[in-house]
Amino acid sequence: MKIIRSVIAIFKSYDFRDKLLTGLAVAIFLGMIVKMIFFPYGLFGFGESNIYTEGIVAKNGIQNINPLFVDYNEADMEVSRLVFSGLMKYDPEKRAVVDDMAVLSINEEKTQYTFTMRDGLKWHDGHALTAEDVFFTFNDVVKSESFQNEILKTNFAGVEIDLVDEKTIRFTLENPNIFFVNNLTTGILPEHILGDMDPYDILQDEFNKTPIGSGPYMVTEPVEAFQDDRMQVTLSRSPYYYGVPSEIELMRFIVYPTMDQLLEHIDAVNGVVKITGDYILDFQNKDRFDFFSYQFLYIH
């Protein structure tokens, strides 16, 4: 009590300006203490309002942020879809694959898929993106004998790819296949960065950790690994994106080796990808989570 009375006495001796400055300093200090105790993840519960944090369960963490190798890892797939763009994309509202970086036209026989690229497309480093990058991705990499993703390679087996000009590319199928268009949501790789590399070596290249894409978000910091096997990567909104920019400035992905570990840190995330089994009940009991599901369809 003596200490408190002494502090009050000293405070009363200050002039008005000193009292004002001291009061502001105390208010800021107390505000910081309250935030740390009651709002450890920000006033909205999860950090700054312009950051969205997503939790993912993947035993192997983040391996390759490369659209040609995401078939084997949930975390890679979620991050890659924001960093890279494809000729087409899946629209959850229409529940269909629609035009993205290019406009599609199909011949009457349903065997030729011709794409005309948008104007002004750019990579995250500012380089122009053209149909030559598309030709490089599918013809020089995916169809190469040394390419290391057999799933994607099989999807383009027997497909003839022609570079008509820098804005136009054509895929010719041996037989009609209404599902082929789904393969064209695959993200495009930059030829000016990977063009001199053997397709076999791309899987081991550092490009997969700090890639250059053309999607709405870009990788600006290396992937972080923690002692408890968590991994994290933060994406920044790209100033070069051709589409409507997101209101969210930063996208943070935290990858946990198990769902149990994610649940231990559930207050650190805004959303969770792919909840299955008995874990659904854990999230149904949390008011701040809503469940969403979609069915993948092709409509033409």
Parse the chain into domains and list their residue ranges: 2-38, 51-284
Euclidean distance between the first and the last CA atom of the chain, given in angstroms as a whole number: 78
Task: Give the Cα separation of 233 and 219 in Å (integer).
Answer: 8
State the pLDDT at residue 4.
40
What is the average pLDDT score of the chain? Answer: 81
State the pLDDT at residue 281.
45
Which pLDDT band holds residue 272 (cuts at 50, 70, 90)? confident
Residue-wise pLDDT tens digits, 91-127: 988 889 999 999 999 999 999 999 999 999 999 999 9
Give, in words, the CATH class of 51-284. alpha beta
Structure tokens at 181: 């268009």
In sequence order, what are the residues at sequence separation of 6 or more whose Cβ sits closer than 8 angstroms to the Cβ of residue 217?
A: 82, 83, 235, 236, 237, 238, 246, 251
CA dihedral 18, 22, 24, 26 (to 10 degrees): -170
- 16 or 257: whose pLDDT is higher? 257
Arithmetic mean of pLDDT, 138-148: 96
Annotate 170-187 with b (16+ C-beta within 10 A) or e (fewer).
bbebeeebeebbebbbbb
State the pLDDT at residue 267.
81
Task: Give the Cα separation of 252 and 50 in Å (integer).
Answer: 11
Which of 49-63, 138-152, 163-177 bottoms out in mean pLDDT, i.e. has the lowest?
49-63
In sequence order, what are the residues at sequence separation of 6 or more whose Cβ sits closer than 8 angstroms to the Cβ of residue 85?
A: 100, 101, 187, 188, 213, 214, 215, 242
Q: Does the pLDDT of residue 8 top 50, yes or no?
A: no
Which pLDDT band holds residue 166 (cuts at 50, 70, 90)? very high
Arithmetic mean of pLDDT, 155-178: 96
Q: Does the pLDDT of residue 269 top 60, yes or no?
A: yes
